[in-house]
Structures are given as C-alpha cells and as structure tokens.
Structure 1
Amino acid sequence: MAVTLHSAAPHHLPAFITGPGETDVLMTVMAVVLVVAVLAVGLLFLRLHTLPERMAHRSHKLQFEIVAVLGLLALFTHQHIFWVAGLILALIDIPDFGNPLRRIAGSAERIAGIPPDKGADDVPDETGAVFAHPEEPQPLPPPAPKVVPVRPGR
C-alpha cells in the first residue's frame, strides 16, 4: 500500500521531520545540548560564587574563614550582599595590630627590667608583694627550723 500525501502538503519534507515510529534525531541532540548547557552554567555559577574564597585562600589572608562563611551564607540565603562583603574582604588587607602591640609590650618589659618570659603578674612591685593570678594557689611559707636545746656540760 502506497502512502499518499495530502494535496496541500509539500512534496519535499525538511530533514528534522521524522516519520511515524522513527527516532527523532533533532530532539535527542537538543536533549544532550540542554544537559551540557545546564551543567556548564551550573559550573560557571559555582566557580563565580567561590571566587572570593579562592582569592582569600591564594593570598593567605587572615580573614579567610570569614570570607568562607560569607560565601556559604550567600549560597544558602541568596542574599547577594554576603557575596559582595566576602569579595571586599578578600580584596583588602586587614592591618596586623597584634604584632606591633606585642613589640611595644616587649619593649616596655625590657625597660622595666622584666625578663621576656615573665609577665607583669609574676614580678614583685616596690613593696615586695607578688601579684599572682587569683585562680592560682599561693605558695606556703617554708616551715620554721626546729630549735633543739643544747644542754651545757654534756
């Protein structure tokens, strides 16, 4: 039995139109392209999302953990301000205040004559009293020596 076309139908059909029971190649190709495109966009989004964290990790910033937490907050809450704050923290250097203060404290201890390994709490003041931490027990005074009476003549 010969298949006859409708009189209004064109005699030459385009290649993307398939016959009944045949595999639709265009739909299969487009499904693969769609899956690859979704995976590529997702990967691009995650790479862009972790940009501040990678920048802070590469430059060994002190605030790396804060940048990482801000990135997670931005990911789970969809608040872009957390991502922007993490990016700004990754780009700036927070000044190190601890090292200059330690050097000032060490110089002041040297001027006062305090050994470097001792703190101000373990050094006696002018009255001779030793300042100790309240949770530390005070040392007991040494026991008095026993006096043995000596009898003359023996």
Structure 2
Amino acid sequence: MTASPNPIATEHLPFFITAPGDTDMLYNITMVIVIGAVVLTGVVFLTIHSLPERMAHKSKKIQLDLIAVLCLLALLLHQHIFWFAAIILAFIDIPDFLTPVTRIATSVETMAGQETAAAPPADRSEPSPPKAAIADQLPKDKKGAARA
C-alpha cells in the first residue's frame, strides 16, 4: 500500500516536512547545533571565569591563591564583584615588603653576634663526627662504659 497524499495538499512540500516513519533531518541538525552551542557557551563561560587566575599564574604573582579563591567565589556565588576584584589583583603587582625586612633583621642580628633559631647553621669545612667517635672521647667509668 502506498500512501496517497491528501487531495487538498499541494504537489510540492518543503524539505523539512517528512513523511510518516521517515527520519526528521531538520530536527537532528537542530539538536546537534543546540548541543554544540550549549557546550561552546559553557567552555567560553568557564574560560572567562578562569582568566584572572591564568593571568596571575603566568606572571607568578604573590597573590595567586587569593585570586584563585575570588574566581571560585565568583563562579559559585554568581557575584561579579569577586571576578572584578580578581582581575584587578591579577593586573596589580603587590610589593613584597616582608623579604627586605627579614633580610634587614637577619643582618642586624649577624652584626650583633646573635644567631637566630631560623638561621641555617654555620658552614663547616669538616663533617660532624659520628656518634661512635664522640663516645670514645667521653670519660669512662671503671667498667669501661662511657659516662655522659
């Protein structure tokens, strides 16, 4: 049995009208375009959200962790002010005040003859003797055992 067209229908039908049981190509093409657009929009959205963090990582900023947290807050809370703060921090170089102050303090302590606990030990030209050699130098009691 062949399907006869309705006598009221025109002879020429547009390409997007399919016969019953045929594959609707317009629907399939539209679904591929919609899915591709959604994925592309998500990729662009996440790329833009991670832009300040990538900028700070490339320039090795001190405040990289702060920028990363601000980007994450902007992504999760949908508050644009966090993203703007992150992008501004990515462009600004915060000066490192701690390193010069630490170097000054270490120099002053060295000039005063004091050693800090955090300072590395003085460079020795000979390695430290093993424990057995130290035990030989300790005074011995009558039984031959070393006294501490």
**TM-score, normalised by the number of residues in structure 1:** 0.68
Match of 1:57? 57
Tell me, in whole angstroms, the C-alpha distance in 1 between the residues paired with 2:27 and 2:110: 81
2:116 matches 1:118: yes
Q: Is the 8 A contact 2:73 2:82 kept in 1?
A: yes
CA shift, 1:63, in A, is 0.4
Measure, in 1, the Cα distance between the counterparts of 2:74 and 2:65.
Answer: 14
Letter paired with 2:77: T
The 3 A distance-change label for structure 1 pair 2 and 67 is closer
* Cα RMSD for the two superposed structures: 1.8
Distance 2:7 2:83 in 1: 61
> Where does structure 2 lack aligned partners over 5 or more consecutive residues?
118-148
Runs of 4 or more above 6 Å deviation: none
CA 1:62–1:2: 2 relative to 1, 3 Å: closer
Q: Distance in 1 between matches of 2:51 and 2:12?
A: 53
Summarize the alignment of residues 112-151 of structure 1 with structure 2, pairs less than 5 Å apart. 113-115=112-114, 117-118=115-116
Q: Distance in 1 between matches of 2:102 and 2:34?
A: 59
How far off its partner does 1:100 sit? 1.9
Cα distance, 1:12–1:63 mapped onto 2, change above 3 Å: same
Equivalent residues in 2 for 1:63-82, closer than 5 Å: 63-82=63-82
C-alpha distance in 2 between matches for 1:12 and 1:76:
53
* Partner of residue 136, structure 1: none
Equivalent pairs: percent with the same residue? 51
Q: List per-residue Cα deviations over 1:76-114 (Å, max 9, x = no partner).
A: 110000000011111110001012212332343355x23
Per-residue Cα deviation, 1:121-149 (whole angstroms, up to 9, x for no partner):
xxxxxxxxxxxxxxxxxxxxxxxxxxxxx
Looking at structure 1, the residues matched to 44 and 107 of structure 2 have their Cα atoms a distance apart, in angstroms, of: 52
Unpaired runs of 5+ in structure 1? 120-154
CA contact (8 A) 2:109 2:116 kept: no
Aligned length: 116
3-state SS of 2:39 partner? helix
Could you say which residue in structure 1 is the equivalent of 2:122?
A: none
Structure 1 residues 39 and 31: CA distance shift in structure 2, 3 A: same
**Who is 1:6 aligned against?**
7
* Amino acid corresponding to residue 84 of structure 2 in structure 1: V
Q: Is the 8 A contact 2:67 2:90 kept in 1?
A: yes
